[in-house]
Structure 1
Amino acid sequence: MSRFAHPAGDRHADMLPAERPPSPPTDINALHPAIWPRTAVRVGGALTIGGVDVRDLAREYGTPLYVLDEEDVRGRCRDYREAFPDSEVHYAGKAFLCREMARWIDQEGLGLDVCSGGELAVALSVGFPAERITLHGNNKSMAELERAVRAGVGHIVVDSFEEIARLGHLAGRLGARPKVLVRVTTGVEAHTHEFIATAHDDQKFGLSLNAGDAAEAVRRILALPQLELAGLHSHIGSQIMDTAGFEVAARRLATLLVQIREEHGVVLPELDLGGGYGIAYTESDEAPDIKVIADGLREIVTKVCTAADLPVPRLTVEPGRTIVGPGGVTLYEVGTVKNVEGLRTYVSIDGGMSDNLRTALYGAEYTAVLASRTSDAGPMLSRIVGKHCESGDIVVRDQWMPADLASGDLIAVAATGAYCRSLASNYNYLPRPAVVAVRNGAARVIMPGETEEDLLRGQP
């Protein structure tokens, strides 16, 4: 018998705690199309992605394993280009970036946002056009700024008075005149987790609109002939499901644009409203359609600028999660299945918080399925946990799984393309998993997995 095939067992479903929803899904083997990659289907019971059976992927590359549906990612890039034909679309590299991903983004005609020297190095190493790169960051080093200026990146988003002075001095020394955007903290309270809300005043990013810091930053930049002020930038947070917060931010930014025109006689040509659009992780999530987002943002910007008698600036958006998140799946092998009577069943897998920190970091929710086969067994309420020495090492907090789930089965966790590999660590000396791209029935490694030798390299 294959290590990925198991006969049906006779374990009974756990009792569902009273505080949880009252009923399991009608089909425990189903793949909800809003959650799983566009090419994900079951063939002979097993999950296939990009025409590749996950059992074959596990045998060849091991588990845990990040699987990325290339056609899904490329398709979502094209969706954004079609939805924003007269705007700039920059992929937010922090969601997931490697050399091959940078090539996909370039080939699909998008720009790229980077927020460190390392991310910039990845992009430049594959010849990504520097003029389509924007450098972010709240504490850019002089080395990072110099590399960006020398490379000729399209925009640098300034985040502090100190950075304006550093960049002005650097540009003068290098004989360059980089385009800059002022990151404005608009005071918008995005309806998301505290750790991924980025536009309220009490946090590290940007220059406060309410306190007058953003206006002062504009004054300082305009006083430096070696810097070109191109526009304003705002980012209100992540995993946002509607455009209401963007409307408030746009109105406040328009107020600043009017102030800049009246005080300096300058009309800024660009407005970057950032990203942060949400995706579906569970069936209860209702992610907005990209075209709805695009139409809403255009309407918002046009309305507020017309009301302020301003020309409509060129709009830029920065999607990350919505491009790469849904196309990613993480494969795990089940190790132990432990029933805690009257509570739930703990399903331990061969990865955990070292390859997906989001659940422990800010309570992220996920959907998982038995991937190596289908099952007719009844459902059991499960908590999918990792192998780390932490009680908080949870990947999926509450998931209905088949009651015959057993050691050796493969589990797939959906929508892990964004922020999982990027946040991965070597906690407990676990090697970081490989990333495999699948397309048209073929698979290839785009980020190799680490080995124990990699973990020990360089130690005396």
Structure 2
Amino acid sequence: MKFFGSMEAKNDELHIGGVGVERLREEFGTPLYVIDEGYFKSNAQIFLDNFKSDIFETRVIYASKAFTNLYMANLVSELGLYTDVVSGGELYTALKGGAEPQKIYYHGNNKLYEELEMAIESGVGTIVVDNENEYELISEIAKNDKVKVSVLLRVNPGIEAKTHKYIQTAKDDSKFGMSIFNEKTKKLIEEMQRDEFIDLKGIHCHIGSQVFDEQFFFASANAMIEFAYEVNESFNLNIREINLGGGFGVYYTEKDNPFELSEFLKKYITIIEEKLKSLQFNVETISIEPGRSLINNAGSTIYTIGSVKETITGLQYIFIDGGMTDNPRHALYQAEYEAGIANKINAKKTQEYTVAGKLCETGDILIENVMLPKAETGDILIIPSTGAYTYSMSSNYNRMQRPGVVFVENGECRLAVKAETYDDLIRNDVART
């Protein structure tokens, strides 16, 4: 198991942020999401320090769909990051967490009328338009409110990044955005340009997630700049921003080979600058939207091991007190993880196990064929690199309570989300009378 951030072994016990796993279990119970706050901050600083230019403004926008809550929204704002939201709920959380409305980008392929109303009336800085129908809704609300709304148009540059098909997002047949090769896209741009209540300030794309080949990002940047230049000249626009999205791959297991971020970001800036100079095209702002690459390796999940079971075929199971309700990614994407027994982190790995949850579902598997020390009831299992798309994708299937979230740093624990109780499970139920 690879250690990240402040992880260290002390007397055979894993510590994160200066806090031992036994203390975490005792104070907060399990399952528990644990966030290394110091490591998240250092990741954010890598982006802020290296994605910058002398010829245009740069913005690092945190993709909050990866992981958000009030504590996180406040931390993101405090660090000087912008915030990307994709629903009314994420927008509400960002605003309540202290995000400046002007520093929020609102995404999504099917924003509801009432969500768009909330965004516009809250003063959200940028709405990313996905399609013609959505533009019409925004225009109607803006006209009714007599306000001018700043927007980007999401376009697809046709870059098919090598990643899981469910997280490819810039193909020509993607559900997101409009193809740069479709004449409808240019017609929409022309219509938006004529709309007195719409400020079309630029374009946006996102080629996918967990992309490890940096060349896909470079190709996408070049394609986006060329398209922006073309429409800028054709329709006498004032394109001021190009948002290149995120998708930077991260480590989950030894099979993953992510690029070194600081060097990549410097090359990214150079390629963007050179392309703009070659076209003599002045753009005020270039934005990117990291999510997973900021939070994933800063997060771990700890569980208490219950039964350890061997089948007639010799398959060894570890059963934990959580499962696919707190991490559905293996069931959904066949995602792979590493693991460790955190209360005996230095012990020799002697046994191959499959880690299964307690849900009444055959597919409730978190990890297959992982080598671990001999597991015993009461041990603490840790799965690292679970900061992204675990808590945010959790559910109450089988009436399971969602785990709590704790941030750790310098020996201190800060509870960010309380673990749900049975009362929480029925809070919104209406009994039959």
- Distance apart, 1:255 and its partner CA: 2.9
Matched, 1:44 2:15: no
In 2, the alpha carbon distance for the partners of 1:253 and 1:201 equals 14
- Distance apart, 1:309 and its partner CA: 3.4
- Distance apart, 1:376 and its partner CA: 4.2
**Please, which of 199, 204, 209 is the counterpart of residue 233 of structure 1?**
204
Give the number of equivalent residue pairs: 426
- Stretches of structure 2 that go unaligned for 5 or more consecutive residues are none
Task: Give the aligned partner of residue 170 of structure 2.
Answer: 199
- Distance apart, 1:156 and its partner CA: 0.5
Q: How does 1:427-446 map to 2 (within 5 A)?
A: 427-446=397-416
Task: Give the aligned partner of residue 372 of structure 1.
Answer: 343
TM-score (norm. length: structure 2): 0.95
Task: Give the aligned partner of residue 297 of structure 1.
Answer: 268
Local SS of the residue matching 1:128: coil
Task: Give the aligned partner of residue 35 of structure 2.
Answer: 68
**Please, which of 422, 428, 433 is the counterpart of residue 392 of structure 2?**
422
- Distance apart, 1:339 and its partner CA: 2.1
Output one character per residue of 1:42-80: Cα deviation in whole Å (capped at 9) or x when no partner.
111111111111111111211111011111111111111
Task: Give the aligned partner of residue 149 of structure 2.
Answer: 178
Local SS of the residue matching 2:170: coil
TM-score (norm. length: structure 1): 0.90
**Please, which of 355, 380, 394 is the counterpart of residue 384 of structure 1?**
355
Label 1:132 to 1:376 Cα distance change in 2 as closer, same or farther (>3 A).
closer
Q: How does 1:19-34 map to 2 (within 5 A)?
A: 31-33=1-3
Task: Give the aligned partner of residue 317 of structure 1.
Answer: 288
In 2, the alpha carbon distance for the partners of 1:192 and 1:438 equals 32
Task: Give the aligned partner of residue 83 of structure 2.
Answer: 112
In 2, the alpha carbon distance for the partners of 1:386 and 1:69 equals 24
Label 1:377 to 1:127 Cα distance change in 2 as closer, same or farther (>3 A).
closer
In 2, the alpha carbon distance for the partners of 1:375 and 1:344 equals 24
Local SS of the residue matching 2:65: coil
Matched, 1:348 2:319: yes
User: Which amino acid letter does the alignment assign opposite residue 262 of structure 2?
Assistant: K
User: Which amino acid letter does the alignment assign opposite residue 421 of structure 2?
Assistant: T
- Distance apart, 1:266 and its partner CA: 2.1
Q: How does 1:96-111 map to 2 (within 5 A)?
A: 96-111=67-82
- Distance apart, 1:385 and its partner CA: 0.9
- Distance apart, 1:422 and its partner CA: 0.2
In 2, the alpha carbon distance for the partners of 1:261 and 1:417 equals 39
Is contact 1:189-1:200 (8 Å) kept?
Answer: yes
Q: Which has the higher helix share?
A: 2
Is contact 1:235-1:276 (8 Å) kept?
Answer: yes
Q: How does 1:223-302 map to 2 (within 5 A)?
A: 223-302=194-273
Local SS of the residue matching 2:98: coil
Name whichever of 298-307 and 57-66 sits farther off: 298-307
Output one character per residue of 1:86-130: Cα deviation in whole Å (capped at 9) or x when no partner.
410010000001111011111111100011111111111133111
Label 1:380 to 1:221 Cα distance change in 2 as closer, same or farther (>3 A).
same
Matched, 1:79 2:46: yes
User: Which amino acid letter does the alignment assign opposite residue 161 of structure 2?
Assistant: A
Is contact 1:72-1:327 (8 Å) kept?
Answer: yes
Task: Give the aligned partner of residue 330 of structure 1.
Answer: 301
- Stretches of structure 1 that go unaligned for 5 or more consecutive residues are 1-30
Output one character per residue of 1:309-367: Cα deviation in whole Å (capped at 9) or x when no partner.
32245210000011111110100111111223555311111111000011110011111
User: Which amino acid letter does the alignment assign opposite residue 48 of structure 1?
Assistant: H
**Please, which of 214, 218, 232 is the counterpart of residue 185 of structure 2?**
214
User: Which amino acid letter does the alignment assign opposite residue 377 of structure 2?
Assistant: S
Local SS of the residue matching 1:458: coil
Label 1:226 to 1:374 Cα distance change in 2 as closer, same or farther (>3 A).
closer
Is contact 1:247-1:297 (8 Å) kept?
Answer: yes
**Please, which of 442, 445, 452 is the counterpart of residue 422 of structure 2?**
452
Name whichever of 428-437 and 264-273 sits farther off: 264-273
Output one character per residue of 1:220-256: Cα deviation in whole Å (capped at 9) or x when no partner.
2102011001111000000111321122222322332
Local SS of the residue matching 1:372: helix
In 1, the alpha carbon distance for the partners of 2:349 and 2:235 equals 69
In 2, the alpha carbon distance for the partners of 1:285 and 1:247 equals 20
Output one character per residue of 1:158-212: Cα deviation in whole Å (capped at 9) or x when no partner.
0010111111111111121111000001111011101111000222100111222
Is contact 2:355-2:366 (8 Å) kept?
Answer: yes
Label 1:408 to 1:167 Cα distance change in 2 as closer, same or farther (>3 A).
same
Is contact 1:164-1:220 (8 Å) kept?
Answer: no
Is contact 2:225-2:242 (8 Å) kept?
Answer: no
Is contact 1:130-1:153 (8 Å) kept?
Answer: yes
- Distance apart, 1:295 and its partner CA: 1.7
Task: Give the aligned partner of residue 89 of structure 1.
Answer: 60
In 2, the alpha carbon distance for the partners of 1:453 and 1:324 equals 30
In 2, the alpha carbon distance for the partners of 1:213 and 1:44 equals 64
Label 1:376 to 1:326 Cα distance change in 2 as closer, same or farther (>3 A).
closer
Matched, 1:411 2:381: yes
Q: How does 1:149-164 map to 2 (within 5 A)?
A: 149-164=120-135
| RMSD between aligned residues | 1.5
Matched, 1:125 2:96: yes
Local SS of the residue matching 2:186: helix
Name whichever of 212-221 and 434-443 sits farther off: 212-221
